[in-house]
Amino acid sequence: MFLEKLSEYAGQIAQLPPPMYQSTSVRYIIHLDEHGTYKGIDELIGEKGKANVLFVAPHCKRSSGIKPKLLVDNGEYTLGIAREKSDPRRVQEQHDAYVKQVRECAVATREPSVVAVAKFLGSPNIVDAILQKKREFDPSSNIAFRVGDIYPIDQEAVRNYWAKKAAAGDAEATMQCLVCGEMRPPVERLPIVIKGIPGGQATGMTLISANAAAFESYGLTASLIAPTCEACGERFGNALNELLRGPNTHIILPPLAYIFWVRPSDASTDTDELNIPDLMEAKPDVVKELFRSVRSGDVTATSLDTSAFYAATLSASGARIVLRDWIETSAQNAHRDLARFFWLQRILDPDGFFRYFPLYVLINATANRLSKEKPVAQVGEALMRVALHGGHLPTSLMYRVIHRVRASREIQPEQAALIKMVLLSQQNTDVVDYEGDTTMASLDEKDTSSAYLCGRLLAQLDYIQYRALGKVNATIVDRFYGTASTAPAVVFPRLLKGAIPHLATIRTKDSNTMYKGYGASLSYPDKELAKLLEHLPSFPTILTLEEQGRFALGFYYQRARYLSPRQTSTNDALTVETPDNDDTNPVEEI
C-alpha cells in the first residue's frame, strides 16, 4: 500500500522528470554541428570548482557491472578517458558499450541530433582535440552533447526510446509488479536511491533490498524479494525523494524522518492548509487558530473533508529504509487529531498562559538533557501517530519520563506535559471545545486521588523547608522524591514530623515582618497543609506507574502555584526569592 500510494503521489508532482530521467550534474558540454563535427567544449563549474549545472538526463542504477547511461555519462564511458587508477581494458569496454548504445538509439529513433553524436563517436582522434583544449580534464565528471542549438537528451523520441528500453530491463522472465500489478521484467536493484533519511548512507538508500539469506525467500535476491518494474520503482523513488525535499511534506528529527501528503479530492483543493511542519512548531497563535477552525467547522477544515491524507515514519538501517509506521486517513480527521494532540499536551505555566511544545521538545523530554543520550525512536513514532491519527500514547512513554524525573529529581514543563498526554489520551475523552476545555491543564483542587495529593504534599513540604531555611545543600526533593513517588507511606510521616519546626520558624519570621496588617498570611503554610491532609487520611504503600504519573503532575502543578506571579504579588508576606537553577533546589525548572 505504501509503495502504491507513493507511486500515485508521483502524478501530483508538477516537475517530475520523464520516465527513467533524473537530475544529473554535468560539467562538460561538447558542441557538434548537424554532421557530427566537433566544434568545441565548454566547462560548467561553480566557485568551488565543481559542476553546478543540473540537466534532466537519462538515468540507470549501476553496481559493479558495465551499464552506460544514454548520451550523458562520465568521461570513461563517453570518451574512453581513464582515471588514474582505472583499468584501461575495463574503460575501453565501458566506452564501447556507450557507443553501441548511442548507435542503437540513432537507428531506432532516427533523431538527427543523435545521429550526429553517433558520427562524432565514430570519428578518429576525438580525444586528442578535447584534451588539447582541456588539459586538466576530469574523467569522473559527466559529459553531455549539444548539436547546434539542440540537446539530444531533450528530444521526445529519445525520451520515449529510453523509457521503453529501461522498462524492458535485462531480465528475460517477467513477474507481477507489486505496484502496478502488470507482468513486467522486475528490477534486481531499484533505479532510484533515497536521500535524506537520518543515519543512513550518504550515497543513498533503497526501499527494497535483501543481502543475506535470512531476508531472501524462494531463491529471490536483492529487490526481487518484492518485485517491481523499472517504471514503478522510478515513480515511487522520485515521489519519496520529493517528499523528503519539500518544506511542507516532511520533518526530520533524528533518528526518524516523517513524511506526509494529501491527495486532493479535486483539482481546486488547496492542500497547503494542512501544514504539519508549521503546526509542529507549536506556536500559540497557530494552535489557537487550529482549535478555532475545528470548533467552528471553518472552511480551512471542511475544504479538506474528502481529501485523503497519508503519513509515514521512516528510519535508516544501513543502506536500507525501514518503514516504521504508515497512516492513512482523511485530511479533515488529521486536522481534528492535530487539535486533540495540542489539547492533550497543553499546560498552564506559572505566568497564567497556556503552553504548547514543539514535537522535538516532547521527544527529548524522555532523554537526559545533561548528557549525549538520544531518545529512542519509539517516542517520536508514537507521538506522531497520535498527532495525525488519534488514539492513545503507550504507557512506556510515561515510564521513560518518570524514570528521568526520578533520576534528576526535577520535572520540566515538557515532561509534565508528556505525562499528562499519556494519562489523558488513555481516557478516551470526547472533547467538543479543545480551546475551552482545560482538563488536567493546571492544579485541580477537586482531584482527591491519593497519588495526586501526595505529589502536591511533597511540593508543599519542600516550599515550607525553603521558607524556613532558604537554600540548603540537599532539599527534601533531592533526598526523597524517588521514595515519595513510589512508596509514600515509607517517607511522608517522617517528612511531616520534620515540617513542624519549619512551620514554627516561618511564624517567627512572619511575626517580625513589616507586613503586620496581613495577618491571614501568617498561618498560610499551616492552612494549606491542613486543607490538603483533610483528603489524605493515610498514605499509599505502593504507587502504580499510572499513580506515579499523577504524583508527578500534582507535584509539578503545586510547585507552579508557588511560583505564580499572581500569588506572590497578592500575598506579599509570602513572596520568596526564586532559587538559582542549581542541584540544591530545582524550583526554577518549573
- SS3 per residue for 47-74: CCCCECEEEEEECCCCCCCCCCCCCCEE
Q: What is the pTM of this model?
A: 0.77
Question: In this predicted structure, what is the pLDDT of residue 234?
Answer: 85
Residue 573 CA to residue 566 CA, distance in Å, equals 13
Answer whether residue 102 shows pLDDT above 60: yes
Range(s) of the domain holding residue 518:
450-589
Question: In this predicted structure, what is the pLDDT of residue 215?
Answer: 63
Closest CA to 19 of 63, 57, 54: 57
Check if the beta carbon of residue 300 is closer than 8 Å to that of residue 293. yes
Q: Are residues 50 and 104 in the same domain?
A: yes
Q: Are residues 410 and 487 in the same domain?
A: no
Answer whether residue 361 shows pLDDT above 80: yes
Count of domains for the chain? 3
Q: Is residue 551 part of a domain?
A: yes
Domain-ending residue, one of 408, 442, 476: 442
Q: Is residue 319 part of a domain?
A: no
**Mean pLDDT confidence for 505-513:** 74
Check if the beta carbon of residue 575 is closer than 8 Å to that of residue 524. no
Residue 360 CA to residue 374 CA, distance in Å, equals 12
Provide the residue type at 370 as one letter. L
Q: Are residues 420 and 281 in the same domain?
A: yes
How many residues does this entry show for the chain?
A: 590
Domain-ending residue, one of 378, 413, 442: 442
Question: In this predicted structure, what is the pLDDT of residue 517?
Answer: 37
Query: Secondary structure of 461-479 in the HEC alphabet?
Result: HHHHHHHHHCCCCCCHHHH
Residue 464 CA to residue 436 CA, distance in Å, equals 34
Closest CA to 207 of 248, 178, 166, 181: 178
Q: Are residues 461 and 580 in the same domain?
A: yes
Q: Are residues 390 and 455 in the same domain?
A: no
Residue 80 CA to residue 95 CA, distance in Å, equals 5
Residue ranges of alpha helices (H) inside 110-187 are 112-121, 126-133, 156-168
Contacts of 229 by beta carbon, 8 Å cutoff, 6+ apart = 167, 169, 177, 179, 180, 182, 184, 185, 186, 187
DSSP one-letter code for 24: E
Q: Is residue 554 part of a domain?
A: yes
Contacts of 397 by beta carbon, 8 Å cutoff, 6+ apart = 366, 379, 382, 383, 418, 421, 422
The tens digit of pLDDT for each residue in 65-93 reads 888 999 999 999 999 999 988 999 999 99
Answer whether residue 588 shows pLDDT above 60: no
Lowest mean pLDDT among 426-430, 440-444, 563-567: 563-567
Q: Is residue 49 part of a domain?
A: yes
Q: Are residues 347 and 403 in the same domain?
A: yes
Alpha-carbon Rg for the chain in angstroms: 33
Q: Are residues 426 and 278 in the same domain?
A: yes
Check if the beta carbon of residue 391 is closer than 8 Å to that of residue 425. yes
Q: What percent of the chain has pLDDT over 90?
A: 52
Question: In this predicted structure, what is the pLDDT of residue 590?
Answer: 25
Question: In this predicted structure, what is the pLDDT of residue 526?
Answer: 77
pLDDT-based confidence at 589, cuts 50/70/90?
A: very low
Contacts of 530 by beta carbon, 8 Å cutoff, 6+ apart = none
Domain-ending residue, one of 395, 414, 442: 442
Q: Is residue 488 part of a domain?
A: yes
Q: Are residues 438 and 490 in the same domain?
A: no
Per-residue cell: 520:
491571614
Contacts of 128 by beta carbon, 8 Å cutoff, 6+ apart = none
Residue 409 CA to residue 393 CA, distance in Å, equals 24
Check if the beta carbon of residue 32 is closer than 8 Å to that of residue 39. yes
The tens digit of pLDDT for each residue in 226-277 reads 888 888 888 899 899 999 998 899 999 999 999 999 988 765 444 455 789 8
Q: Is residue 357 part of a domain?
A: yes
Q: Are residues 274 and 402 in the same domain?
A: yes
Provide the residue type at 153 as one letter. I
| Secondary structure (DSSP) of 270-285 | -GGG--HHHHTT--HH
Question: In this predicted structure, what is the pLDDT of residue 105?
Answer: 95
Closest CA to 22 of 192, 240, 179, 140: 192
Q: Is residue 145 part of a domain?
A: yes
Q: Are residues 574 and 474 in the same domain?
A: yes
Q: Are residues 511 and 433 in the same domain?
A: no
Q: Are residues 476 and 342 in the same domain?
A: no
Q: Is residue 8 part of a domain?
A: no
Residue with cell 554535468: 26
Residue 378 CA to residue 325 CA, distance in Å, equals 10
Strands 175-176 and 183-184: antiparallel
